[in-house]
Amino acid sequence: MPELQPDDPIKTRSYANVILIAIFVLLLCVSWSFYQEFIGLRPWRSYQTRFAESYSAYLQKQVRDREAAEKAVESSADYQKLQAALQQAEAVADPQDKAIKQQSDLVDLQRAAILSAFQTDRSLVGSLIYDYEVVPNTAAYRSEKQSHLQAVLDAEAKEYSVDWPEGDGKTVTRTFNYNQLNDTFNQLLDQKAQLTAKQGDIDQPVKDAQAAMAKLISDKLPGLTADQLDGLLKSARDMDVTLVQINVNPPGTQINDIGGVGLTDRCQSCHVGMNPKFVPAALTITKADLGLPRSNDAPFTSHPDQDLLTWHPLDTFGCSPCHGGNGRALDTVELAHGRYEHWLWPLNYPENYQAGCQQCHSADAWTEHAPVLNEAKILFRDRGCIGCHNYAGFDSQGQQLQDTDREIASLEKEKVDDNQKIPILNKQGDQAPDNATAQRLYAEATNLTVTVSKLDARVEQLDQLSHSLQQEVKRVGPDLKEVRLKLHPEWIPYWLGHTWNFDPTAQMPQFRLEPDEVQAISAFIWQQGLKGPALDKQAPGDPARGKDLFNSLGCLACHSIGEGSQKIGGDIADNLSREGEKANYDYIVRWIHNPRVRSAPYDPYLHRDLTSEDYTKHGLPFVFDVDHSRSPVDGHELVVQQQTIMPDFRLSWQEARDIASFLMTQKDASSHYDPAPFVNDASLYEKGRTLVVHYGCAGCHEISGLEDASRVGTDLTQEGSKPIGRFDFALLYTKAQDGILPDGQPLKRGNEYSSWYDLKGFFDQKLADPAVFDEGQYKPDPMDRLKMPKPNVTQDQINALTSFLLGSTQSTLPPSYQYLPTDQRQAIQDGWWIVTKYNCIGCHQIDIGQRTILMDLPAYKGDNAINLPPVLTSEGARVNPEWLKSFLANPSLSATDTDRDGVRQYLKVRMPTFFLSDDEVRKLVLFFGALSSQQQPFIPEKLAPLSDQERSVARAIFTSPAAPCLKCHMTGNPAHDANATAPNFLLAGQRLRSAWTERWITEPATIIPGTAMPSGLFVRQGNRWVFNAPLPPEAKNYTGDEADLLVRYLMELTPQEQAMLSGRTPVAAKSGSSSVKK
Amino acid sequence: MNRKVVCCTVAIAFAALVGGCSKSQNGTEQQQPAAAATKTIDPATVGSVSGTIKLDGAAPAYKAINMSADPYCVKANAGHPVMPQEVVTGDGNTLGNVVVYVKSGAEGYSFPTPTDTVTLDQKNCTYTPHVLALMVGQQLSVINSDDTTHNIHPTPTDNREWNKSQPPKAPAITDSFARPEIAIPVKCNVHPWMKGYIAVMANPFYAVTDKDGKFDLKGLPPGTYTIEAWQEKYGTQDQTVTIGAKEDKAGVDFTFKAQ
């Protein structure tokens, strides 16, 4: 070892401090990297740990509570009784079970004992028979065949000795030949099967008792059992901290196809509570369950709507496709939620959650579980957005009409071409060189004639379709051609300038109009109005009676009346509190009598209204309605009805006068209107026309000369896909980025201050007041300003519309995610477009749980709910579609007696006539069928005809004092029907479906909860329904199903039979008349 | 500087760091809501509140019910016209069928569910009693004493709705109501004039007045209570009453104005 230098720095200088510092630095680096690795970069790790802790604690408590509850039930008298029953059953079954087990064991032993001999012998015999069979059956082989046969016989006769168990452990030696072995073996199999069946019978009472106990527990304590909860607790405690990722890559796409079709979603790495492995659907957990304050940043709660997850399974959808956000980001909450400038699909705020639904459900009119979206779609139409903005799927009848006309033209041309070809082909056939060619050419000509006749059928269908489409075109606003007949001229300028002063709930938006613009528009509209034919003069009606009718007929399902807190009714049509200030009585009478009547038909081909002269010239009376809809001038389909959705209530003229008289009393006595002589000023006409075109008034109103005007606004079908740069924030750009609202207030979203430079911010502000985007700009000419009027919407409605627009995207999801069903669900959506269009849901409950407008009116509260229009949730299963078709066409079900409801004459509320087009009727009938999963077309169930004996039994039950049927249901006897509350049974045969009827009479409350029809009329006895009351003597020996019997009886019921029943039942005729005498 | 010091320092520093890192992230404490302490009633201190309900003005003039829709009902009441029970008054314009109960003030106590069953009888095509009150969870038994089929159809707002048919001589229909509600209308759809009310009470301090309009709520522990009187036509009225130990407060009267 060499000697060290005395000044060797290694020896003389200490590096301890340097090393210490280095160690610190190194440690820090290592710690920092560990921290980053496990926590900093992976916040989801700590989320998962925290989840496991809070969730375990929650489950622990649940397990304890549940155990205690289960114990309580187990110690209850009911349970003890069941337990005693179980023990008793066991005591009975056990000895028998034991005996059977012994027998069964013995059979097993015996079978085992002979098995070897049986198998050996069977194969031996089998092979010998084969040897015998393969020898040819000819003389040459006779002796060989004979010897083989002998071998078989010998083998069959051969005896095997077997140690045969006799029970009690003893065995005896028995011998068996081939046949005995076979027989014994089969006997043993039979014995075994019999014993097993017997054991099943013996054990059944025990199994029943056990099932009864389990049922008691599940009835008293629904939800997960303590054992199940315990299992969850274990899996929560053993939870692996791991990244959760969902990849969905449709064929031919790549995982990294950002913004394209592939899908990567890691949201559940933090949102652990979504995982059904840990939190099953039966256990929806909230922050409160986990003992966390609402504001706590802890993404642990489970999805509040488990049905949605059933339809959109997490493992194929993940979270971000519906909710937005950056599904693959994990580093921070902000990144994962996509709340930064360059992510195009930020996480939707709670008020806009349903934007996610719209991405794939844009073709729906009604999406289950998406009430906000459904409301938005109704608003989009009813607030007149659709008047200016095109949106695919909404009110496209105009476009379809054009397409249909074009197709008809092209088919007509094809027909002409084909018709020219036929004689040519025939002639070529005549001159053909040989018969084969001639035959071919003649056949071609014949085929072509058939083709032409099929074209005729197609054209005829298209004609019908165009008739339908013309009928389906509706406008949100009233027909302005009739202003001179309907309105007071001085009211028009007031309305235009002060729309919401006159009616704070008006559907019409408030336009930003200068006084001279108001005058010009009023003048144009007035001068453009029809001047005749003059209306019939109407005598005054009775306002008190009118008020009664107005309140009870169902007007309030669409219209509202009263102002402020006094307002009741729907928002789909006008508030009528001030109707008397604006309208002419004679016109309103005609309108109420039939709102579809118009003063003149419009000819879209000639672009003008037809006059009586046009008809006279062609020798026709001036009659135009749905049945007389062809132009006498050019044969085209006319507009023969008012383009309003308001239906015809089939009222008498007197009733119409009464209601109109009531509406005329609806006015604010203090209001005053300045005279408006300028409406007749011809010099204002041109300016007015320009303004009316500019503001797009013809989008909602029918205006002479502007019938074909196109929509003036932007197409909004894919508005949510526009990049933010294409939205004009104008001078509000900086404010939006800084999160300052137009009014100077800072914007808060949830609990946080936020920028509103995003699509949501733009839509929210634009809907609240479009004018704000003009702020600070120099626009001396009012026509330079943004022309969008202020829509009359509440904050909730703005949220709904914003959600709708945010979801109106060109979806980046794989096409298979789009909801474009081709099965019955398509029929359901087709129907919803019509149902929402005519506001059927204002009166009827169609979707389970859906509220109607009428339901919430004070007049129908409590036990008055039975006066509501019928619930239609099972309509498709209830009625025969053929009947429904005729009912929709004419709800009075009578050609002459129309001033009534065809089914429920006892209801004051009445089903009106909507003049639905054939196509709409077809779609509605299919819709109701599809909603109730009914097959199309409908083939009625064949019912066994009643025998005479059955008929007399049915009659006896039906009319027995214990059967309340005829007390509530109409019988056709006026005295009785005055107080009836249910339809006449005579309708049943054509109207009802028998299967539904049986379900209805046995368990009505499961079909329509709250119905006046009582449950418990029948009880189940074994396999049949039995009338639940003392039976009349005639019926006592009947052994069939009594519900089925009554249904068959009702389906066969004839007027004669009913009259006879009324005679027999004193309910109707006798007591009715006696009460009158009193 | 010796090696020991360095080693120690390094060890301490490392321990501190590791300790610091491993410190629990869990800031969420389990917050168990403190169970509401249930007060117990001392029978020695209880008092009562009593009074009379009156009607100010004349009761509406009613016509006898027309039961002609069901001949059985006509026969059952032959010679005794049945009057609607909507407003029933006694001498001195006292008001019957009024439910008087402690609306608030008794929340702190817990009350056992009474084990006796309250019966609603359908007799001669009317409900007897017309207004009945029972406690949450208490058994209601509906019986049919008539020789005609009735259906019993409570139309509650807060409770579960049901509608069952009950033929003559059928066994009683029993049920209970899980939530307090004043008052559930009960109706027979077969006999539309049959209408009654069931008041479901949260505590046992309630009474339904007879024609004499008198009520007496007994067994009340000292405290301040809101006493409410409910009448099917005239709605509700309430009063705040404070009673001391063993105090029997009389004269807590209510007057409904005839409309």
The CATH number given to whatever domain includes residue B120 is 2.60.40.420
Tell me if A1017 and B170 make a contact (CB, 8 A cut-off): no
- B94 and B122 in a single domain? The answer is no
Cβ distance B45 to A59 under 8 Å?
A: no
- Residue numbers in A near B71 (CB within 8 A): 1066-1067, 1070-1071
Structure tokens, A651: 């009222």
Percentage of residues of chain A with pLDDT beyond 70: 96
Size of interface A-B (CB pairs under 8 A): 134
- B117 and B188 in a single domain? The answer is yes
> Does residue B166 lie in a domain region?
yes
Nearest to B147 among A19, A34, A961 (CB): A961
What is the value of ipTM here, to two decimals?
0.75
- B94 and B117 in a single domain? The answer is no
Which of these three, B202, B220, B245, is where a domain ends? B202
CA dihedral A78, A79, A81, A86 (to 10 degrees): 150
Tell me if B71 and A1067 make a contact (CB, 8 A cut-off): yes
What's the DSSP call for residue B84?
P
- Residue numbers in B near A27 (CB within 8 A): 10, 13-14, 17
- Residue numbers in B near A24 (CB within 8 A): 13
Q: What is the model's pLDDT at position A1075?
A: 35
Please give the average per-residue pLDDT across B204-228, as a whole number.
93
Q: Which of A897, A890, A839, A810 is nearest to A626 (CA)?
A: A890
Nearest to B28 among A54, A961, A981 (CB): A54
Tell me if B28 and A50 make a contact (CB, 8 A cut-off): yes
The answer, for B162 touching chain A at a CB cutoff of 8 Å, is yes
The answer, for A34 touching chain B at a CB cutoff of 8 Å, is yes
CATH number, domain at B252? 2.60.40.1120
Cβ distance A264 to A333 under 8 Å?
A: no
- B187 and B248 in a single domain? The answer is no
Kindly give, in sequence order, each residue whose CB lies less than 8 Å from that of residue A807, ignoring residues fewer than 6 positions away: A354, A355, A356, A357, A358, A359, A362, A373, A720
> Does residue B177 lie in a domain region?
yes
Q: Which domain holds residue B145?
A: 112-202
Q: Which of A581, A489, A588, A582 is nearest to A535 (CA)?
A: A588
Nearest to B69 among A17, A865, A1067 (CB): A1067
How far is B112 from chain A, CA to nearest CA, in Å?
17
B105 sits in the region (left: phi over 0; alpha: psi -120 to 50; else beta) called: left
Kindly give the residue spans of alpha helices, DSSP state H, lying in A340-477: 355-360, 371-382, 385-388, 397-430, 435-472
The answer, for B157 touching chain A at a CB cutoff of 8 Å, is yes
Please count the CA atoms within 13 angstroms of the CA of A716 that sit on its side-chain side. Answer: 25
The answer, for B172 touching chain A at a CB cutoff of 8 Å, is no
Report the chain B residue with the minimal C-alpha distance to residue A1011: B163
Q: What is the model's pLDDT at position B18?
A: 45
Chain A stretch 855-874, residues whose beta carbon is closer than 8 A to a beta carbon of chain B: 862-863, 865-866
Cβ distance A393 to A403 under 8 Å?
A: no
> Does residue B21 lie in a domain region?
no
Nearest to A14 among B1, B70, B192 (CB): B1
> Does residue B4 lie in a domain region?
no
* Number of neighbouring beta carbons within 10 Å of residue A336: 25
Classify A790 as helix, strand or coil: strand
- B156 and B93 in a single domain? The answer is no
Report the chain A residue with the minimal C-alpha distance to residue B154: A863
- B100 and B218 in a single domain? The answer is yes
Cβ distance A644 to A701 under 8 Å?
A: no
Instruction: Tell how far CA A283 is from the center of its chain.
Output: 26
pLDDT greater than 70 at residue B259: yes
**Cα distance between residue A631 and residue A639, in whole Å:** 9
- B178 and B221 in a single domain? The answer is no
Using one digit for the tens of pLDDT, what is the confidence trace for A690-724? 999 999 999 999 999 998 888 899 999 999 989 88
- B134 and B171 in a single domain? The answer is yes
AA identity, residue A462: L
Query: Cα-flanking dihedrals φ and ψ of residue A568, to 5°?
Result: -130, 155
How far is A273 from chain B, CA to nearest CA, in Å?
16
Which of these three, B184, B202, B220, is where a domain ends? B202
Q: What is the model's pLDDT at position A424?
A: 93
Tell me if B28 and A1012 make a contact (CB, 8 A cut-off): no
Using one digit for the tens of pLDDT, what is the confidence trace for A74-132? 888 888 998 999 999 999 888 888 988 888 888 998 888 888 888 888 888 889 899 88
AA identity, residue A31: S
How far is A906 from chain B, CA to nearest CA, in Å?
14
The answer, for B74 touching chain A at a CB cutoff of 8 Å, is yes
Q: What is the model's pLDDT at position A465?
A: 87
Classify A583 as helix, strand or coil: strand
- Residue numbers in A near B190 (CB within 8 A): 964, 967-968, 1014
- Residue numbers in B near A28 (CB within 8 A): 17
pLDDT greater than 70 at residue B24: no
The answer, for B81 touching chain A at a CB cutoff of 8 Å, is no
- E strands present in A466-603: 560-561, 568-569, 602-603
Q: What is the model's pLDDT at position A6?
A: 62
**Cα distance between residue B211 and residue A602, in whole Å:** 71
**Cα distance between residue B18 and residue A440, in whole Å:** 96
Q: What is the model's pLDDT at position A409?
A: 87
CA dihedral A597, A603, A609, A611 (to 10 degrees): -80
The answer, for B115 touching chain A at a CB cutoff of 8 Å, is no
Report the chain A residue with the minimal C-alpha distance to residue B152: A1014
By CB atoms closer than 10 A (0-12, 13-18, 19+), residue B133 is buried
> Does residue B15 lie in a domain region?
no
- B163 and B218 in a single domain? The answer is no
The DSSP code sequence of A928-943 is: HHHHTT--SS--PPPP
pLDDT greater than 90 at residue B213: yes
The answer, for B70 touching chain A at a CB cutoff of 8 Å, is yes
> Does residue B16 lie in a domain region?
no
- B175 and B132 in a single domain? The answer is yes
Cβ distance A925 to A870 under 8 Å?
A: no
> Does residue B63 lie in a domain region?
yes
The answer, for B69 touching chain A at a CB cutoff of 8 Å, is yes
Nearest to B6 among A16, A963, A1011 (CB): A16
**Inter-CA distances, B65 with A1075, B69, B84, B87, B195, Å:** 11, 11, 7, 14, 12
* Number of neighbouring beta carbons within 10 Å of residue A318: 24
Tell me if B192 and A31 make a contact (CB, 8 A cut-off): no
Disruptive mutation site among A28, A42, A906, A968 for chain B (greatest number of B CBs within 10 Å):
A968
- B195 and B246 in a single domain? The answer is no
Cβ distance A245 to A269 under 8 Å?
A: yes
Tell me if A961 and B149 make a contact (CB, 8 A cut-off): yes
The answer, for A49 touching chain B at a CB cutoff of 8 Å, is yes
**Longest Cα–Cα distance in chain A:** 144
The answer, for B189 touching chain A at a CB cutoff of 8 Å, is yes
Burial A175-185 (b: 16+ CB within 10 A, else e): ebebebbbebb
The answer to whether the bond into A937 is cis (omega within 30° of 0) is yes
**Cα distance between residue A833 and residue A378, in whole Å:** 10
Which of these three, B181, B202, B223, is where a domain ends? B202
How far is B46 from chain A, CA to nearest CA, in Å?
33
The answer, for B34 touching chain A at a CB cutoff of 8 Å, is no
Q: What is the model's pLDDT at position A297?
A: 66
The answer, for A5 touching chain B at a CB cutoff of 8 Å, is no
Structural domains in chain B (count)? 2
The answer, for B195 touching chain A at a CB cutoff of 8 Å, is yes
Run of H or E residues at B220: strand B214-220
Q: What is the model's pLDDT at position A349?
A: 93
- Residue numbers in B near A963 (CB within 8 A): 149
Tell me if B13 and A39 make a contact (CB, 8 A cut-off): no
Report the chain B residue with the minimal C-alpha distance to residue A32: B21
How far is A45 from chain B, CA to nearest CA, in Å?
11
- B129 and B163 in a single domain? The answer is yes
Run of H or E residues at B207: strand B206-208
How far is A968 from chain B, CA to nearest CA, in Å?
6
**Cα distance between residue B6 and residue A549, in whole Å:** 99
**Cα distance between residue A613 and residue A8, in whole Å:** 128
The answer, for A951 touching chain B at a CB cutoff of 8 Å, is no
Q: Which residues of chain A register pLDDT less than 70?
A: 1-7, 9-11, 249-262, 294-298, 1063-1078
Using one digit for the tens of pLDDT, what is the confidence trace for B57-104? 988 999 999 888 888 899 999 888 899 999 999 988 999 999 999 999
> Does residue B8 lie in a domain region?
no
Run of H or E residues at B229: strand B223-231
